[in-house]
Amino acid sequence: MVSRTSDRGFIEWHPSVRLERSEGDGTATIGAVTDPQGHATADSGSREDLDAWGRTLPYETTANVEVPARLLDQVIGQDDAVEVAKKAASQKRHMILIGDPGTGKSMLARAMVDFLPKEPLQDILAYPNTDDPNEPKIRVVPAGKGKEIVAAQKLEAAQRKEQRMLLLAVVAIVIFLLAAYVVWITPGHDLTALLIAIIVVIFLYVIVRFSSGRSDGANTVAKLLVGHQPDERAPFIDATGAHAGALLGDVKHDPFQSGGLETPPHERVEVGAIHKANGGVLFVDEINLLKIESQHSLLTTLQERKFPIVGQSERSAGAMVKTEPVPADFVLVAAGNIDSVQSMHPALRSRIRGYGYELYVHTTMPDTVENRMKVVRFVAQEVVKDRKIPHFDMGAVVEIVREAQRRSGRSGQLTLRLRELGGLVRVAGDVANSDGARLTTAEHVVRAKKTSRSLEQQIADRYIERRREYRMFATDGAAVGVVNGLAAINAQSGMSEFSGIVLPIVAEVTPAQTRDGGVVVATGKLGDIAKEAVQNVSALVKKYTGEDISRYDIHIQFVGTSDGVEGDSASVSIATAVISALEGVPVDQSVAMTGSLSVRGQVLPVGGVTAKVEAAADSGLRRVLIPEDNMGDLVLESRYRGMIEVIPVRTLRDVLKYALVGKGTAKDSLLERLAAMVHATSRTDVGGDRVPPPSGRPAGT
């Protein structure tokens, strides 16, 4: 649990202790408590402990959990999207699903097939065109009839060929008999006639062989482009990553284009995903990766509900072939991340919006008892789908729920990045199998967490080890202008997990080298947002210290950041380092910190707080300063209990109070000036009480 002292700053993690205070005693309730195993839950203490909740579950194992039969009922945490998907499928509307990877977009699209109107499917055939061979004819027949038609035509062609070969055999026999008679009556039995007969038979066979395609009807046999069974479900076609030919259809190249060896154009026609999806659902993930030309063709298909097949390569003989329009009446479900919308063809998106829905799927869901039960069902679903791992007992399920809390990165939330959470379920099951266990237990899940660490976390672990070896940051003592910042490594990789690292920041203040004024120089391959954060901090330092920093050159170095730095969560670290260097007050090197700063000195929430605190603990640091609004987001594993002290801060003054060391005049004077500045710039309500800074979604990572 969390205890909090009256000075509104220091907290310490204690097992089995819960402190709740009201505004009446001058402090605010902190929205983070820990369970008996040392994990900070996503609750504010109003709900029962997670382990106690696990003991109340009505199941012994996930084998007792009922898994819904319909795929759409298996979607977790996307209730709004499920309702929209049902409406879109029943009315045959198109959809755009935007959201993070692994949140169930493809599952939603696949499940829409069950709600499509019951309509008969169609077989699609291609026939030769005697008037223009390069424009094969298209015929549509009921499902199942296409195979019958093709089989009947092939049988008829085979019979014609058999008749021709039989006729050739009879002619050959007659020729050989005549040749034998000539040889018999010729004096000396000259075999020249027999040799001539053999040559004639071979010549006739060649003529029959290479003309049979035209005369026996083999070239007139239709090609079945799309076939179905009469009782078959509507098709679901995943065209993610398909190139133009696979999406829109293509015509094969014919290396033999004359001399009777050529393949008829209609035989070289190949349908695309849009034609296979006729009467069903076409799913295209990462829609922005399609070429603009392909997106435009997709738009045409949505408008006309049919699309001709043409050769996609200009160097191919198929480039001259263009079929009649082929039916392509489907429900399009386009998916992607938020940047996918910006890269979509404007007209294609407009078409979908005008005749369908746009939906942004959730990445988290509230941590309620009902939603926890959905996670329990999710674990059961994954076990059933995998078919190779043992079922989970309720202790293991509680660990999965706890990990869902942790990966959400927010207070009172559970992650919906279920694909990655499902990976943990499967790894835990594999660990149980390797132990020969009948059930997967909590111990197996804990071991699986180590085994299934993301690449970013593995890199971060080695990163921390390497920095320890080279002593790139200190964990004790004090130093002027040196701060142990915290960062989330590769936070934009698309994974739900953050991996924290210690990011040393060093500041040095020197007299300006020119009369035009000082400059602020920040090194470390900074991104745009990080550069802007440095500029904001410079203005903040000037205001809060009262110094005319135009008389100084301020150098800020992000140590060991060859891969670059982006985001504004290092703002408090930068400000602390610069103020320390400017005032000559040392910084406690056992303290790490993270947080964004407003231009008024308020510490704003950031992302990846749990990973950053864990990185600080792994690095041997003893204290961490984090934004007060992030306190509810902490979900620490039990192994960190007693290793680290977490201190919530609200303003820059709070940061300096715990980061700077010494009781001398310099520190006290600085804090007094900051207190006066904060009081002068803080907003007040009608009664004169201070209005706390706004909270909300983390400002950056």
Q: Residue ranges of the domains in the chain?
A: 31-68+364-452, 78-132+228-361, 145-226, 471-681
Encoded tokens for 577: 């380092």
Q: Where are the beta strands (DSSP E) in 380-452?
A: 413-415
Torsions phi, psi of 692, nearest 5?
Answer: -65, 155
Q: pLDDT band at 696, cuts 50/70/90?
A: very low
CATH T-level topology, domain 78-132+228-361:
Rossmann fold (3.40.50)
Q: pLDDT band at 32, cuts 50/70/90?
A: very low
**Distance, CA of 700 to CA of 595 (rounded, Å):** 9
Query: What CATH code is assigned to 31-68+364-452?
Result: 1.10.8.60
Judge if 31-68+364-452 and 78-132+228-361 fold alike in CATH terms.
no
Which residue pairs, CB below 8 angstroms and at least 24 apart, start in 678-681? 678/601, 678/651, 678/652, 678/653, 681/600, 681/601
Q: Is 44 a catalytic residue?
A: no
Secondary structure, 3-state, 249-294? CEECCCCCCCCCCCCCHHHHEECCHHHHCCCCEEEECCHHHCCHHH
Give the model confidence (pLDDT) of 539-591 as tens digits.
677 666 666 667 778 888 888 776 666 677 888 888 888 888 888 889 999 99
Please check whether the domain covering 471-681 is classified as CATH 3.30.465.10: no
* Residue 656 and residue 483 in contact, taking contact as beta carbons nearer than 8 Å: no
Q: Which of 87, 105, 86, 104 is nearest to 96 (CA)?
A: 105
Give the model confidence (pLDDT) of 422-447 as tens digits.
999 999 999 999 999 999 999 999 99
Q: Give burial (CB, 10 Å; 0-12/13-18/19+) of 399.
A: buried
Q: pLDDT band at 130, cuts 50/70/90?
A: confident
For position 214, what pLDDT does the model report?
53
Encoded tokens for 471: 């002593």
Q: pLDDT band at 532, cuts 50/70/90?
A: confident
Q: Please provide the average confidence, as pLDDT, over all residues in the chain.
A: 80
What percentage of the chain exceeds 90 in pLDDT? 35
- Residue 296 is inside which H or E element, if any? helix 292-304
Q: Which of 269-273, 528-532, 601-605 has the lowest mean pLDDT?
A: 528-532
Which of 545-573 are b and which e, b meaning 16 or more Cβ less than 10 Å from the residue's Cβ? beeebeebbbbbbbbbbeeebbbbbbbbb
Q: Is 161 a catalytic residue?
A: no
Catalytic residue (choose from 252, 276, 306, 612): 612
Catalytic residue (choose from 452, 569, 580, 590): 569
